Copies of this chain bind each other. A is one copy, B any other.
């Protein structure tokens, strides 16, 4: 196995274990046993456990966003449809057997020192998701895309947390979607007729 491959195996295993059991509760040895990589190799790639956590969060960041956005774009074409598809994709996510809530929300709960690199990655992740939603709101032509995006993102976060704590995971996503439809409908009320376009 090549050098870079082991690194990826380590990170992937770390992602799984951190997601399921948390960051402090997951020991280095557990990650090593599951990944089949030796301790020596781990410390060749990462200076410390915190750096492994950071690497795991960073890899999962792009991994998750790519997958999430691709699924949305496969399901729906127009911005408005895509904004609603967000919650369908979320529903699918919640049903996964290895769904343990959002890695970043969980990380924030364990690392309270603000200014830490770990917290920064979490902030960036949430920011990127919100930006994606904001772009969709803008493309849709919402009156106030920033505020609408903030509201829709709030619903998303709420759905994740609620799906995680309760067993009725489908309901959380469905409720979020219903609420989102109402909010989108209201934000687009003024633009009901597509004729009101801005003239040059």
In the complex the two chains form, what is the Cα distance from A22 to B21 in whole Å?
Answer: 13
Task: Return chain B residues, CB-CB under 8 Å to A176.
Answer: 151, 154
Asked if B147 and A175 make an inter-chain contact with CB atoms under 8 angstroms apart, the answer reads: yes
Asked if A123 and B157 make an inter-chain contact with CB atoms under 8 angstroms apart, the answer reads: no
**A101 with B109: in contact, given A122-B165, A147-B175, A154-B155 (CB under 8 Å)?**
yes
Task: Return chain B residues, CB-CB under 8 Å to A156.
Answer: 158
Asked if B165 and A126 make an inter-chain contact with CB atoms under 8 angstroms apart, the answer reads: yes
In the complex the two chains form, what is the Cα distance from A86 to B25 in whole Å?
Answer: 34
Which of B106, B119, B154, B178 is A158 in contact with, Cβ under 8 Å? Answer: B154
Asked if B153 and A162 make an inter-chain contact with CB atoms under 8 angstroms apart, the answer reads: yes
Asked if A165 and B104 make an inter-chain contact with CB atoms under 8 angstroms apart, the answer reads: yes
Q: Is A35 positioned at the interface, with any CB of B under 8 Å from its CB?
A: no
In the complex the two chains form, what is the Cα distance from A186 to B114 in whole Å?
Answer: 39
Q: Is A13 positioned at the interface, with any CB of B under 8 Å from its CB?
A: no
In the complex the two chains form, what is the Cα distance from A183 to B162 in whole Å?
Answer: 19
Task: Return chain B residues, CB-CB under 8 Å to A94.
Answer: none
The chain B residue sitting closest to A173, CB to CB, is B154
Smallest beta-carbon distance A135→chain B, Å: 18
Chain A residues near B (Cβ < 8 Å): 20-22, 24-25, 100-101, 104-106, 108-112, 114, 119, 122-123, 126-127, 147, 150-151, 153-162, 164-167, 171-172, 175-176, 178-179, 182-183, 186
14 CB < 8 A contacts A-B: A22-B112, A24-B25, A24-B110, A104-B165, A106-B110, A119-B165, A147-B175, A151-B176, A151-B179, A154-B158, A154-B162, A157-B158, A157-B161, A182-B186
